Amino acid sequence: MFRGAVRPSAPETSHAAAKAIAACAGELCQRVHRYIDAQGEHGATDHESQAALGLLMQTQVPRRNALAAAGFVVWSGRFRPTPSGRRARVWVTPRNLKAEGGAR
C-alpha cells in the first residue's frame, strides 16, 4: 500500500536505509495512521506522533507524507505549538476532519 522513495541523487547511506526499512514501511505507515486516527478530531502533530510511537522524525515524517499523498491523512487546517514553541500542522484522518477546519 505504501512505498518509500529515495532521490537518485541521495547519498549511498540513504539508499541503504531505504532498502533496510522497505520491508517494514507498510507496518510503520499503519502505526502512524492508527495513532492519528485514534486522536479523532483533535488530530496529531508530527512531534506528537513521534513521541507517542517512539519514532524518530526521519522515520515518522516520510510515513506521514506517504499517508497524506495517498489521502489517508489530511491537514486539519489547524496548528499547535511544538515544545520549542513553533507552529506545527495538526493531521487527522478524513473521517475526523471537522467541517470548519477544512484541509488546505
Question: Mind listing the pLDDT tens digit for each residue in 39-94?
Answer: 999 999 999 999 999 999 999 999 999 899 888 899 999 999 999 999 999 999 99
Predicted TM-score of the model (pTM) = 0.74
Residue 2: the pLDDT is 42
> Does pLDDT of 5 surpass 80?
no
User: Which residues, including other chains, have CB under 8 Å from residue 82's CB and lie 6 or more apart?
Assistant: 45, 47, 88
SS (H, E, C) 13-45: HHHHHHHHHHHHHHHHHHHHHHHHHHCHHHCEC
Determine which helix (DSSP H) or strand (DSSP E) holds 60, and give its type and residue range.
Answer: helix 57-69
Residue 103: the pLDDT is 55
Domains of the chain, by residue range, sit at 12-96
Name the residue with higher pLDDT: 98 or 55: 55
Q: Which fold has domain 12-96?
A: Arc Repressor Mutant, subunit A (1.10.10)
Q: What angle do CA 17, 12, 30 make, to 5 degrees?
A: 20
